[in-house]
Structure 1
């Protein structure tokens, strides 16, 4: 939470500027003065009060400037006497009364001479609409790890997560645990999002944020994905490489793929198998259900295992065979 943004002041604002900002905004968003619904008004009024309570206190403000809101609420300040964490007590009306010397917000709109005390503030207080300094609830983004096997074949996953919901008073919030089963379509990639509109966090006066599941692919022992293509490293011995023996690959959908090799395999040799890569992902709204699934390509690189030890006789025989092949 950015307390300076809430009070619409710069970070180097003086104590009097902090007080002036609270003076203006607390009247603008006081529940008895605003025309907006109570939940929205009270939510803003509380945030303004919390921001003022922190920034008007030199010790709290110093700690907040240095460590931020999270650390402020965790507490501890060495020699600065803020050992216990700060917590807003939910007492905006007490803060208001202490600041103005009265709990009556109307008394602050007119000075003792009967003129408006805050210029255009009166019209703002009764006609304010949006408050750009106070953001709504953030989208709830949950990372979902998927194996390459799951991304190839598609699957359903049950995901548990924590989200913020409103209490019965419509103002305060609490954290709850929820679970949701999500469908992972074939071919979906790392970084893609599955979005459920307005099923995320709640806050008074705002629409619920979105619930977003972010896909993250975990490493596979033999395959590596590059977009819609797959890379496979085949370990073969030197004899198989020279003989150009076919290789067998167990695919991600558990088929046995027999791959012919049409030339002697060198360390730079790459074999491409068309349409044996990843399924090409399509969003539901653009899927052509009458069209067969399309796939990327499979690229095979070879890790040639050389013998660790040979006798002099074996070395000479191999040398003679290779020299004969060059003639």
Structure 2
């Protein structure tokens, strides 16, 4: 039986010393398991942080929004950005909204979670009417 700790990253090696096949006259070798993380269609992981792409209108990016997400663990998560709360601008008409404590558990500290970053594509209007 192999225990994989919550938050264990992709590529992490779990070594069970002396548990490999035995041969007469030789000491048993180590049994090594390598953790392979399955890709998710929406979330990507970097260490304990998660990234999720979503789209918001320019108005929402400037005045705030409320967004309902389904987290990896199945929970419904409401993310809010209030009016005047800056969405950190990135290149190419995108923005970044950080939700602390909603990432992956941290290996070695399973009750400490990384950050969920919403990578927001900002929809700009085709035309702007007179003000």
For Structure 1 versus Structure 2, the TM-score category normalised by the shorter chain is 0.7 to 0.9
| Structure 1 Cα separation of the partners of residues 124 and 29 of structure 2 | 58
* Corresponding position: 1:186 with 2:6: yes
What is the root-mean-square deviation in Å for CA atoms of aligned residues? 2.6
- Relative contact order (C-alpha < 8 Å, sep 6+): which is higher? 2
| Structure 2 Cα separation of the partners of residues 202 and 304 of structure 1 | 60
Instruction: Name the structure with the higher helix share.
Output: 1
Measured after TM superposition, the shift of residue 293 of structure 1 is 1.0
Aligned to 1:196: 16
* Corresponding position: 1:257 with 2:82: no
**Number of aligned residues:** 125
Aligned to 1:109: none
2:114 to 290, 296, 299: 296
| Structure 1 Cα separation of the partners of residues 64 and 46 of structure 2 | 27
Secondary structure, aligned partner of 2:35: strand
| Structure 2 Cα separation of the partners of residues 294 and 248 of structure 1 | 23
Aligned to 1:274: 100
Unmatched 5+ stretches in structure 1: 1-180, 308-314
2:33 to 209, 213, 226: 213
Secondary structure, aligned partner of 2:78: strand
| Structure 2 Cα separation of the partners of residues 299 and 204 of structure 1 | 54
Unmatched 5+ stretches in structure 2: none
Between Structure 1 and Structure 2, whose CA radius of gyration is higher? 1
Query: Once the two structures are superposed, what CA deviation does each residue of 1:171-215 show, in whole Å capped at 9, x if it has no partner?
Result: xxxxxxxxxx43322100111122222121333321111111100
Measured after TM superposition, the shift of residue 268 of structure 1 is 3.4
Q: How does 1:1-327 map to 2 (within 5 A)?
A: 181-237=1-57, 240-241=60-61, 244-262=64-82, 263=84, 267-282=93-108, 293-305=111-123, 318-321=127-130, 324=131
Aligned to 1:57: none
TM-score calculated relative to the size of structure 2: 0.77
| Structure 1 Cα separation of the partners of residues 5 and 16 of structure 2 | 15
Instruction: Name the structure with the higher strand share.
Output: 2
Secondary structure, aligned partner of 1:186: coil
